[in-house]
Protein backbone atom coordinates (compact mmCIF):
# COMPACT_ATOMS: atom_id res chain seq x y z
CA UNK A 1 0.00 0.00 0.00
CA UNK A 2 1.33 3.41 -0.96
CA UNK A 3 1.28 6.18 1.62
CA UNK A 4 1.10 9.75 0.34
CA UNK A 5 3.12 12.45 2.07
CA UNK A 6 1.31 15.38 3.72
CA UNK A 7 0.69 18.17 1.21
CA UNK A 8 2.67 21.31 2.04
CA UNK A 9 0.32 24.17 2.94
CA UNK A 10 -0.19 27.06 0.56
CA UNK A 11 0.29 30.58 1.92
CA UNK A 12 -1.71 33.62 0.87
CA UNK A 13 -1.75 37.33 1.72
CA UNK A 14 -4.84 39.39 2.51
CA UNK A 15 -5.59 42.73 0.88
CA UNK A 16 -4.48 45.79 2.90
CA UNK A 17 -6.97 47.14 5.42
CA UNK A 18 -6.79 49.68 8.27
CA UNK A 19 -4.66 48.52 11.18
CA UNK A 20 -6.73 47.97 14.36
CA UNK A 21 -3.79 48.82 16.62
CA UNK A 22 -1.83 51.73 15.14
CA UNK A 23 -3.73 54.69 13.64
CA UNK A 24 -2.90 55.63 10.07
CA UNK A 25 -1.33 52.29 9.20
CA UNK A 26 -2.50 49.48 6.95
CA UNK A 27 -2.24 45.80 7.78
CA UNK A 28 -1.90 42.61 5.76
CA UNK A 29 -1.88 39.03 6.97
CA UNK A 30 -0.01 35.99 5.73
CA UNK A 31 -2.28 32.97 6.18
CA UNK A 32 -2.81 29.31 5.40
CA UNK A 33 -5.67 26.84 5.85
CA UNK A 34 -5.62 24.60 8.91
CA UNK A 35 -7.20 21.32 7.89
CA UNK A 36 -6.63 17.62 7.40
CA UNK A 37 -4.84 15.02 9.49
CA UNK A 38 -1.74 17.22 9.73
CA UNK A 39 -3.64 20.18 11.25
CA UNK A 40 -2.52 19.72 14.85
CA UNK A 41 1.14 19.31 13.95
CA UNK A 42 0.97 22.32 11.62
CA UNK A 43 -0.61 24.43 14.35
CA UNK A 44 2.07 23.40 16.85
CA UNK A 45 4.86 24.17 14.39
CA UNK A 46 3.63 27.54 13.12
CA UNK A 47 2.60 28.76 16.56
CA UNK A 48 6.28 28.58 17.46
CA UNK A 49 6.94 30.89 14.48
CA UNK A 50 4.57 33.67 15.43
CA UNK A 51 1.34 32.41 13.85
CA UNK A 52 -2.10 32.52 15.48
CA UNK A 53 -5.24 30.48 14.88
CA UNK A 54 -8.64 31.85 13.90
CA UNK A 55 -11.10 29.00 13.34
CA UNK A 56 -9.63 26.98 10.43
CA UNK A 57 -6.94 29.49 9.50
CA UNK A 58 -3.42 30.18 10.74
CA UNK A 59 -2.14 33.73 10.22
CA UNK A 60 0.48 36.25 11.20
CA UNK A 61 0.88 39.94 10.30
CA UNK A 62 2.84 40.62 7.12
CA UNK A 63 2.63 44.37 6.62
CA UNK A 64 4.45 46.22 3.87
CA UNK A 65 6.11 48.91 6.01
CA UNK A 66 5.80 47.84 9.63
CA UNK A 67 6.83 44.94 11.87
CA UNK A 68 5.29 46.20 15.10
CA UNK A 69 3.18 43.11 15.88
CA UNK A 70 5.29 40.69 17.91
CA UNK A 71 3.98 37.31 19.02
CA UNK A 72 4.35 37.05 22.81
CA UNK A 73 4.52 34.16 25.25
CA UNK A 74 5.22 33.72 28.96
CA UNK A 75 8.01 31.34 30.00
CA UNK A 76 6.15 29.53 32.76
CA UNK A 77 9.13 28.21 34.72
CA UNK A 78 10.51 31.72 35.28
CA UNK A 79 7.27 33.60 35.80
CA UNK A 80 6.64 35.34 39.11
CA UNK A 81 3.67 37.53 39.93
CA UNK A 82 4.23 41.19 40.64
CA UNK A 83 2.72 42.70 43.78
CA UNK A 84 -0.23 44.09 41.85
CA UNK A 85 -0.78 40.73 40.12
CA UNK A 86 -0.80 38.95 43.49
CA UNK A 87 -3.56 41.34 44.57
CA UNK A 88 -5.53 40.53 41.41
CA UNK A 89 -5.08 36.81 42.05
CA UNK A 90 -6.32 37.12 45.62
CA UNK A 91 -9.20 39.40 44.62
CA UNK A 92 -10.53 36.80 42.18
CA UNK A 93 -10.22 33.77 44.44
CA UNK A 94 -14.03 33.54 44.46
CA UNK A 95 -14.06 32.48 40.79
CA UNK A 96 -14.32 28.82 39.88
CA UNK A 97 -12.77 27.50 36.69
CA UNK A 98 -14.44 24.92 34.44
CA UNK A 99 -12.87 23.51 31.24
CA UNK A 100 -14.96 21.82 28.56
CA UNK A 101 -15.11 21.07 24.86
CA UNK A 102 -15.64 24.19 22.71
CA UNK A 103 -19.41 24.57 22.61
CA UNK A 104 -21.07 27.98 22.40
CA UNK A 105 -24.00 28.97 24.61
CA UNK A 106 -26.35 31.95 24.74
CA UNK A 107 -24.95 32.86 28.17
CA UNK A 108 -21.46 33.11 26.70
CA UNK A 109 -22.71 35.17 23.78
CA UNK A 110 -24.52 37.63 26.07
CA UNK A 111 -21.30 38.16 28.04
CA UNK A 112 -19.33 38.43 24.78
CA UNK A 113 -21.72 41.12 23.47
CA UNK A 114 -21.47 43.15 26.68
CA UNK A 115 -17.69 42.91 26.50
CA UNK A 116 -17.55 44.03 22.86
CA UNK A 117 -20.03 46.87 23.33
CA UNK A 118 -18.00 48.18 26.26
CA UNK A 119 -14.41 47.57 25.09
CA UNK A 120 -14.39 47.14 21.30
CA UNK A 121 -17.54 48.73 19.91
CA UNK A 122 -15.71 49.88 16.78
CA UNK A 123 -13.63 46.71 16.29
CA UNK A 124 -13.82 44.05 13.62
CA UNK A 125 -16.04 41.80 15.74
CA UNK A 126 -18.57 44.49 16.68
CA UNK A 127 -21.29 43.11 14.39
CA UNK A 128 -20.75 39.43 15.21
CA UNK A 129 -24.06 37.60 15.73
CA UNK A 130 -24.75 34.42 17.70
CA UNK A 131 -24.09 32.13 14.73
CA UNK A 132 -20.75 33.78 13.95
CA UNK A 133 -19.82 33.59 17.62
CA UNK A 134 -20.64 29.87 17.62
CA UNK A 135 -18.42 29.38 14.58
CA UNK A 136 -15.53 31.20 16.30
CA UNK A 137 -15.83 28.91 19.31
CA UNK A 138 -16.69 25.58 17.71
CA UNK A 139 -14.85 25.52 14.38
CA UNK A 140 -11.50 24.11 15.38
CA UNK A 141 -9.60 21.17 13.84
CA UNK A 142 -7.28 20.84 16.84
CA UNK A 143 -7.43 20.30 20.60
CA UNK A 144 -9.25 23.32 21.98
CA UNK A 145 -10.82 23.93 25.37
CA UNK A 146 -13.41 26.46 26.47
CA UNK A 147 -12.43 27.67 29.93
CA UNK A 148 -15.16 29.41 31.89
CA UNK A 149 -14.92 31.35 35.14
CA UNK A 150 -18.10 31.53 37.21
CA UNK A 151 -18.87 33.27 40.46
CA UNK A 152 -19.30 30.95 43.43
CA UNK A 153 -19.88 27.23 43.48
CA UNK A 154 -18.43 24.87 40.93
CA UNK A 155 -19.33 23.93 37.37
CA UNK A 156 -21.99 26.08 35.74
CA UNK A 157 -23.89 26.85 38.93
CA UNK A 158 -22.67 30.45 39.36
CA UNK A 159 -22.93 33.53 37.18
CA UNK A 160 -20.50 33.51 34.27
CA UNK A 161 -17.83 36.20 34.58
CA UNK A 162 -15.10 35.34 32.07
CA UNK A 163 -14.33 32.96 29.21
CA UNK A 164 -11.18 31.95 27.35
CA UNK A 165 -11.00 29.94 24.14
CA UNK A 166 -7.70 28.11 24.56
CA UNK A 167 -5.74 25.84 22.24
CA UNK A 168 -3.65 22.98 23.60
CA UNK A 169 -0.24 23.05 21.92
CA UNK A 170 2.55 20.54 22.35
CA UNK A 171 4.59 23.15 24.25
CA UNK A 172 1.94 25.28 25.91
CA UNK A 173 -1.45 26.94 26.02
CA UNK A 174 -2.50 29.45 23.38
CA UNK A 175 -5.13 31.97 24.47
CA UNK A 176 -7.01 32.35 21.20
CA UNK A 177 -9.66 34.78 22.46
CA UNK A 178 -10.83 35.91 25.89
CA UNK A 179 -13.67 38.07 27.14
CA UNK A 180 -15.09 38.98 30.52
CA UNK A 181 -17.62 41.05 32.44
CA UNK A 182 -16.77 44.68 31.56
CA UNK A 183 -18.48 46.02 34.68
CA UNK A 184 -16.00 44.33 37.02
CA UNK A 185 -13.19 46.80 36.33
CA UNK A 186 -11.64 46.51 39.79
CA UNK A 187 -11.20 42.74 39.44
CA UNK A 188 -8.86 43.08 36.42
CA UNK A 189 -10.31 39.90 34.95
CA UNK A 190 -8.14 40.03 31.83
CA UNK A 191 -5.04 39.87 34.01
CA UNK A 192 -6.56 37.10 36.11
CA UNK A 193 -7.23 34.95 33.03
CA UNK A 194 -3.56 35.11 32.06
CA UNK A 195 -2.39 34.37 35.61
CA UNK A 196 -4.69 31.37 35.78
CA UNK A 197 -3.45 30.06 32.43
CA UNK A 198 0.08 30.18 33.81
CA UNK A 199 -1.20 28.09 36.71
CA UNK A 200 -2.87 25.61 34.34
CA UNK A 201 0.31 25.32 32.28
CA UNK A 202 2.28 24.57 35.46
CA UNK A 203 -0.19 21.89 36.45
CA UNK A 204 0.12 20.29 33.00
CA UNK A 205 3.90 20.63 32.81
CA UNK A 206 3.76 22.91 29.75
CA UNK A 207 6.54 25.49 29.32
CA UNK A 208 4.66 28.40 27.68
CA UNK A 209 1.49 30.45 27.63
CA UNK A 210 0.98 32.15 24.26
CA UNK A 211 -0.73 35.54 24.53
CA UNK A 212 -1.13 36.56 20.90
CA UNK A 213 0.45 39.77 19.63
CA UNK A 214 2.06 42.50 21.64
CA UNK A 215 2.17 45.78 19.71
CA UNK A 216 4.55 48.45 21.02
CA UNK A 217 2.87 51.82 20.70
CA UNK A 218 -0.65 50.38 21.07
CA UNK A 219 -2.44 51.09 24.34
CA UNK A 220 -4.75 48.13 23.69
CA UNK A 221 -1.82 45.71 23.88
CA UNK A 222 0.33 47.42 26.50
CA UNK A 223 -0.85 45.16 29.33
CA UNK A 224 1.02 42.15 27.96
CA UNK A 225 4.39 43.79 28.63
CA UNK A 226 3.56 43.83 32.36
CA UNK A 227 4.02 40.07 32.69
CA UNK A 228 7.39 38.73 33.84
CA UNK A 229 9.38 36.18 31.82
CA UNK A 230 7.81 37.45 28.58
CA UNK A 231 9.35 36.45 25.26
CA UNK A 232 8.61 37.98 21.86
CA UNK A 233 9.14 36.42 18.43
CA UNK A 234 11.36 38.76 16.43
CA UNK A 235 13.40 38.28 13.28
CA UNK A 236 12.89 34.53 13.36
CA UNK A 237 13.76 33.94 17.02
CA UNK A 238 12.21 34.13 20.47
CA UNK A 239 13.94 36.66 22.73
CA UNK A 240 13.36 38.02 26.22
CA UNK A 241 11.39 41.24 26.20
CA UNK A 242 13.66 44.19 26.79
CA UNK A 243 12.56 47.68 27.79
CA UNK A 244 9.17 47.98 26.03
CA UNK A 245 9.86 51.60 25.08
CA UNK A 246 12.91 50.54 23.07
CA UNK A 247 10.82 48.57 20.58
CA UNK A 248 8.63 51.37 19.27
CA UNK A 249 11.34 53.28 17.40
CA UNK A 250 12.79 50.05 16.05
CA UNK A 251 9.61 48.54 14.69
CA UNK A 252 7.67 51.32 12.98
CA UNK A 253 8.71 51.37 10.37
CA UNK A 254 11.45 48.78 9.86
CA UNK A 255 12.95 47.25 6.78
CA UNK A 256 10.49 44.50 5.84
CA UNK A 257 11.37 41.35 3.93
CA UNK A 258 9.40 40.48 0.78
CA UNK A 259 6.58 37.94 1.20
CA UNK A 260 8.50 35.29 -0.72
CA UNK A 261 11.45 35.57 1.69
CA UNK A 262 9.13 35.35 4.69
CA UNK A 263 7.48 32.19 3.38
CA UNK A 264 10.83 30.62 2.49
CA UNK A 265 11.93 30.83 6.13
CA UNK A 266 8.84 29.11 7.53
CA UNK A 267 9.61 25.64 8.84
CA UNK A 268 6.86 23.06 8.32
CA UNK A 269 6.24 19.76 10.12
CA UNK A 270 8.74 16.99 9.33
CA UNK A 271 11.19 19.57 8.01
CA UNK A 272 9.04 20.44 4.99
CA UNK A 273 8.94 23.78 3.24
**184 by DSSP, 3-state: which?**
coil
The answer to the question of residue 7 being in a domain is: no
* pLDDT for res 122: 67
User: Would residue 6 count as lying in a domain?
Assistant: no
Q: What is the CATH number of the domain that holds 233?
A: 3.40.630.30
Residues 6+ apart with CB under 8 A from 261: none
Position 252 scores a pLDDT of 59
Mention every residue, 6+ apart, whose C-beta is less than 8 A from residue 270: 6, 41
Residue 124 confidence (pLDDT): 66
pLDDT value at residue 253: 56
pLDDT the model gives residue 16 = 93
Question: Is 55 in the same domain as 108?
Answer: no
Domain membership flag for residue 2: no
pTM assigned to the model: 0.90
Residue 38 CB-density burial (10 A; 0-12 exposed, 13-18 middle, 19+ buried): buried
CA geometry: angle 31, 180, 87, nearest 5 deg: 115
Give yes or no: residues 255 and 202 share one domain: no
User: Do 195 and 238 share a domain, yes or no?
Assistant: yes
The range of the structural domain enclosing residue 228 comes to 72-243
Assess whether 103 and 17 both reside in one domain. no
C-alpha to C-alpha distances, 5 to 8, 38, 140, 272, nearest whole angstrom: 9, 10, 23, 10
pLDDT in tens, the chain (273 residues): 444 445 678 999 999 999 888 888 889 999 999 988 899 999 999 999 999 999 999 999 998 888 889 999 999 999 999 999 999 999 999 999 999 999 999 999 999 999 998 876 566 677 889 999 999 999 999 999 999 999 875 444 589 999 999 999 999 999 999 999 999 999 999 999 999 999 999 999 999 999 999 998 888 888 999 999 999 999 889 999 998 888 876 555 556 677 777 888 888 887 555
Q: Are residues 213 and 259 in the same domain?
A: no
Say what the pLDDT of residue 220 is: 82
Q: Does 164 map to a domain?
A: yes
94: left (phi over 0), alpha (psi -120 to 50) or beta: alpha
Amino acid sequence: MRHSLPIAPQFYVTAPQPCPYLPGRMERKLFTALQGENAEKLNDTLSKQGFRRSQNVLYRPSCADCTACLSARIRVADFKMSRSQRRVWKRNSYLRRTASSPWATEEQYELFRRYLDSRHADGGMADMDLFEFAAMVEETPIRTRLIEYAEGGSGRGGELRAVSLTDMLDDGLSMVYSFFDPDLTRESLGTHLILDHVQIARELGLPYVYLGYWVPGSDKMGYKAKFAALEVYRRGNWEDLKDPASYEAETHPLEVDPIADQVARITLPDGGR
